[in-house]
Structure 1
Amino acid sequence: MPRQIFHLLVTLSDIAPPVWRRVQVPGGYTLDRVHRVIQHAMGWRDCHLHSFEINGAQYGEPDPAGELLLRDELDTRLDAVATKGARFRYTYDFGDWWEHDVVVEDVTAPEPDVRYPLCADGDQACPPEDVGGAFGYTEFRAAIADPAHPRHAEMADWVSATFDRFGFDPARVTTLLRRLT
């Protein structure tokens, strides 16, 4: 049983209306596990590089070429770098450059009989992978919403005609998160 549960608010930057998730994770999770929680919670597929910026330090997967100065996320526990009220940045896909603001809203004792991690709440579906960042997502939403848009058919075929930007189910995310434990 974990000793502390971190309540994280993860918000995708530069997207309106906001895409956000509230997740609860054990404080003993290393940052690579927090990365996987965010991936599942946001709906990303973990196809790209990522990093955390916490208190001015960069964390991620070590660069074998040594060109990126990242501290190893496998060696860093969440409870060692963050406390209640802390804010940090999680960046995913260095091409599309999806920045996420992460706030530690609370740190509590675990609830009896609750399995962690879990997704408590959220809003809006995550943008599709490789859509082109915030600008590309704006264009994508316009094309999907308007059958007369010149790129409507292309975008609908690419992602699925059933894409629902309002579709988000915390219970489904929690089920996916159960696979991490």
Structure 2
Amino acid sequence: MTEKIARLRFELLHIEPCIWRSVEVSLKTNLRSLHELIQAVMPWEGYHLYEFTIGERAYGEPDPEDAAWGRKTYQAKGMQLGKLIERSIIELLYTYDFGDNWQHRIVVEHVEDADPATDYPRFVAGERTAPPEDVGGPSGFMEFTKAIANRRHPQHKEMVRWYGGPFHPTDFGKAEVAARVRVIAARRKIALEAFARSQQLRQP
């Protein structure tokens, strides 16, 4: 059976101009793997909590303390993208870092047969640089961009020192992002090949 893939678009909400990425992924991709992919393409650094919201359900990394707050978080690795699409769910919300509250709109643009010569996931396109970690959410990011772009701004030197250099809002490092995704694709290929060999060894 030919593998199916989906083209996804990630958009960072509450910021203009729009910061977005487009990728192609297997329908077998679970939400934890999708989280790792989003981290790679924005890129974020991955040291904060995350959550996918689908209807009234939240998927992430369950915490025993959730019950005390009257909420339930389902295992992200337990839900595959293909299962959501089968239910006609083609849009979901991904939140990273509950302090800065970076909300991403994820849209399934289309589904098609995979190219046998291509390793997935695959980075397709994108625009603009994502905010740095811990910048203070959308409002903090707006203040950061104003300060770092204006040498006369009273916080310019402080922001350059904090960020570690100049900030390029339009150059998000496309080649580096594509390379990060190729690493994920290579790991997935190795895992799939190992699984196929294990299945062959089980055959009588």
| TM-score interval, smaller chain | over 0.9
Cα distance in 1 between the residues matched to 2:134 and 2:9:
24
SS of the equivalent of 1:32 reads helix
Q: CA deviation at 1:85?
A: 7.0
* 4+ long deviations beyond 3 Å: none
SS of the equivalent of 2:95 reads strand
Cα distance in 1 between the residues matched to 2:158 and 2:42:
24
Residue in 2 that maps onto 1:66? 66
Residue in 1 that maps onto 2:160? 156
> Which has more radius of gyration?
2
Alignment of 1:85-104 (within 5 A): 86-104=90-108
Residue in 2 that maps onto 1:54? 54
SS of the equivalent of 1:53 reads strand
SS of the equivalent of 1:116 reads coil
SS of the equivalent of 1:150 reads coil
Work out the percentage of aligned pairs sharing the same amino acid: 38
More deviation, 11-20/68-77? 68-77
Runs (5+) with no aligned partner, structure 1: none
User: Is the CA contact 1:11–1:101 (under 8 Å) kept in the aligned structure 2?
Assistant: yes
Aligned residues: 181
Residue in 1 that maps onto 2:85? 82
Residue in 1 that maps onto 2:37? 37
SS of the equivalent of 1:5 reads strand
User: Is the CA contact 1:54–1:81 (under 8 Å) kept in the aligned structure 2?
Assistant: no
Cα distance in 2 between the residues matched to 1:2 and 1:76:
21
Residue in 2 that maps onto 1:124? 128
Cα distance in 1 between the residues matched to 2:2 and 2:19:
28
TM-score, reference length from structure 1: 0.94
Deviations 1:62-108 (A, max 9, x none): 11323451111111111112357711100000000000001000111
Provide the aligned C-alpha RMSD in A.
1.7
Cα distance in 2 between the residues matched to 1:177 and 1:160:
24
Where is the helix percentage greater, Structure 1 or Structure 2? Answer: 2
User: Is the CA contact 2:148–2:166 (under 8 Å) kept in the aligned structure 1?
Assistant: no
More deviation, 82-91/98-107? 82-91
Cα distance in 2 between the residues matched to 1:155 and 1:168:
18
Deviations 1:33-60 (A, max 9, x none): 0000011111100010000012331100
TM-score, reference length from structure 2: 0.83
